[in-house]
């Protein structure tokens, strides 16, 4: 209402002023000029005051509108200003309440984070393996109690036990070469890991400790990288495996002695059988020395004696080949040619038994000892032929060659399969033990020799399948020369 009145007065004053100016009387009449001034000046002042009041009151009106939109209900008994004050007081109290709740939540999160950090530290400190971290500059930044006990030796055991109880991690901040001064190989591995990012898993190193002598450690070293795969440090896990290695060596020695005893017993048994057979034939020859005995009988007995002598000679030769160290005479050969030569050597035996031999597949060229690999396939083919019963149908042996060029290494594979009656589950673990055999006229050195030759070439021989339908021997050979022979060259 006030705004309307002021507006009307302003319009009247302006209209009078314009009218007098038009009549030319405003400039000639001082009374008219004064009248115009008295009319216009208050109106202009009131207009300015009104505009200023509206400008000042505008934020207040916004506060009132905001207060009306708040959860606080307006009351008719309160003025507008009281309502606004009460509303904002309620909002401030609610904000303070929320702030306290947030502080409590933050405190809970900090406590939870601190507990998790302490638990993680205790977990790392008490894992049953030694843990050491090294930064990119080569400083040891964290060592748990087990690692400290392993590296420092028995003199710090009491301190190690105390750290285990408290779950503390130590930070010696020394160079890793100084920290592992008793294990130079360990320092080399860490240096290569920091420089090239090389990871070492399940390695074995020696460490010399004062007061404890030589110890054996099982170690794994992996690089610590950032998001751009830049090496920021190295993580070392270690375990003292001295007792495990000693136990392993003792078990290996016991196993070797047991195998040696079994091999000696088998050798003595074969010699005894062959000598007894030869002795019997010699006695028979003595009886047949009578001029009245037919010459044909004496020749048959003599031929049987010579056959037994040849078997005994082959036994001695194979045993010597198995016992003596293998010296590989490496040359570039083709596996297919080796297999064909072995097949030609046994052709008469296969034809006599009515056994068919099929050679198929792809055979690789590789660097190996031709003579030794020939012995491998002769033994495998002879073993396959002897495994087939004379009444079996069909009688067949298959040799299949393949080449494996998958990622991670290239290998040549040869599988020798037969249609024999298979090997029993009880005998499978023992077939590569010297002088173990299930044959009535076998001495059990052939498969042991096959395994030794394959291992010498960096390969392996395994039984891939054996059941009532037959047996499959799988030979795997690397297409690169054996490591030891490469080093010699």
Higher pLDDT, 277 or 135: 135
Higher pLDDT, 42 or 109: 109
Q: Where are the domains of the chain?
A: 2-53, 80-121, 127-240, 325-488
What contacts 285, CB < 8 A, 6 or more positions away?
298, 301, 302, 305
Q: Which H helix or E strand runs over 463?
A: strand 460-467
**Residue 440 structure tokens:** 């009535």
DSSP conformation class of 326: P
pLDDT value, residue 30 = 61
Residues in the chain: 489
Q: What are phi and psi of 418, to 5 degrees?
A: -130, 175
β-bridge partners, 134: 140, 234
For 6, left (φ over 0), alpha (ψ -120 to 50), or beta? alpha
Number of helical (H) and strand (E) elements in the chain, helices listed first: 15, 12
- DSSP percent split of the chain into helix, strand, coil, nearest 5: 60, 20, 25
Average pLDDT over residues 255-263: 70
**Choice among 40-49, 64-73, 151-160, 352-361 with the minimum mean pLDDT:** 151-160
Residue 227 reports pLDDT greater than 70? yes
pLDDT value, residue 163 = 39
Domain 325-488: top CATH class: alpha beta
Domain 127-240 sits in CATH at 3.30.450.20
What is the reported pTM? 0.47
* 136 within 8 A of 232, measured Cβ to Cβ: yes
Average pLDDT over residues 76-88: 65
Average pLDDT over residues 263-280: 74
**Residue 312 structure tokens:** 């005994």
Percentage of residues in the chain having pLDDT higher than 70:
69
b/e 1-13 (16+ beta carbons within 10 angstroms → b): eeeeebeeebeeb
For 38, left (φ over 0), alpha (ψ -120 to 50), or beta? alpha
CA 386 distance to own-chain centroid: 44
Tell the residue number behind the tokens 């008490």, with chain if given: 126
């Amino acid at each position: 209402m006030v705004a309307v009145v002021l507006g009307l007065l302003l319009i009247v004053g302006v209209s009078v002023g314009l009218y007098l100016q038009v009549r030319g009387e405003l400039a000639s009449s001082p009374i008219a000029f004064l009248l115009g001034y008295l009319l216009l000046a208050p109106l202009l002042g009131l207009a300015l005051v009104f505009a200023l009041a509206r400008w000042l009151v505008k934020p207040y009106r916004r506060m009132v509108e905001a207060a009306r939109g708040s959860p606080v209900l307006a009351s008719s008994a309160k003025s507008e200003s009281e309502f606004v004050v009460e509303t904002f007081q309620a909002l401030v109290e609610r904000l303070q309440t929320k702030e306290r709740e947030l502080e409590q939540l933050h405190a809970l999160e900090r406590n939870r984070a601190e507990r998790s950090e302490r638990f993680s530290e205790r977990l790392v400190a008490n894992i049953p393996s030694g843990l050491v971290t090294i930064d990119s500059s080569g400083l040891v930044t964290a060592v748990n109690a087990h690692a400290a006990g392993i590296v420092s030796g028995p003199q710090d055991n009491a301190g190690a036990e105390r750290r285990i109880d408290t779950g503390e991690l130590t930070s010696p901040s020394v160079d890793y070469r100084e920290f592992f001064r008793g294990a130079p190989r360990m320092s080399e591995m860490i240096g290569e890991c920091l420089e090239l990012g090389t990871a070492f898993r399940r390695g074995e190193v020696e460490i010399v400790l004062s007061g404890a002598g030589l110890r054996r450690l099982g170690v794994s070293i992996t690089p610590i990288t950032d998001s751009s795969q830049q090496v920021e440090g190295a993580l070392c896990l270690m375990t003292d495996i001295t007792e495990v290695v000693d136990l392993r060596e003792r078990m290996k020695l016991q196993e070797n002695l047991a195998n040696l005893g079994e091999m000696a017993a088998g050798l003595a048994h074969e010699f005894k059988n062959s000598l007894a057979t030869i002795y019997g034939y010699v006695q028979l020859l003595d009886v047949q020395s009578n001029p009245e005995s037919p010459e044909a009988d004496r020749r048959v007995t003599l031929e049987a004696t010579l056959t037994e002598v040849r078997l005994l000679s082959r036994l001695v030769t194979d045993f010597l080949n198995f016992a003596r160290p293998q010296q590989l005479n490496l040359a570039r050969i083709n596996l297919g040619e080796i297999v064909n030569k072995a097949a030609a050597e046994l052709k008469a035996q296969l034809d006599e038994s009515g056994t068919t031999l099929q050679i198929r597949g792809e055979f690789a060229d590789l660097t190996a000892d031709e003579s030794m690999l020939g012995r491998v396939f002769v033994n495998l083919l002879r073993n396959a032929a002897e495994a087939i019963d004379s009444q079996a149908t069909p009688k067949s042996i298959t040799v299949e060659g393949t080449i494996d060029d998958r990622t991670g290494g290239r290998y040549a594979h040869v599988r020798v399969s037969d249609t024999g009656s298979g090997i029993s589950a009880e005998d499978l673990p023992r077939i590569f033990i010297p002088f173990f055999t299930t044959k009535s006229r076998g001495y059990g050195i052939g498969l042991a020799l096959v395994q030794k030759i394959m291992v010498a070439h960096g390969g392996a021989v395994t039984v891939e399948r054996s059941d009532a339908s037959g047996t499959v021997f799988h030979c795997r050979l690397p297409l690169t020369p054996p490591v030891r022979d490469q080093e010699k060259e």
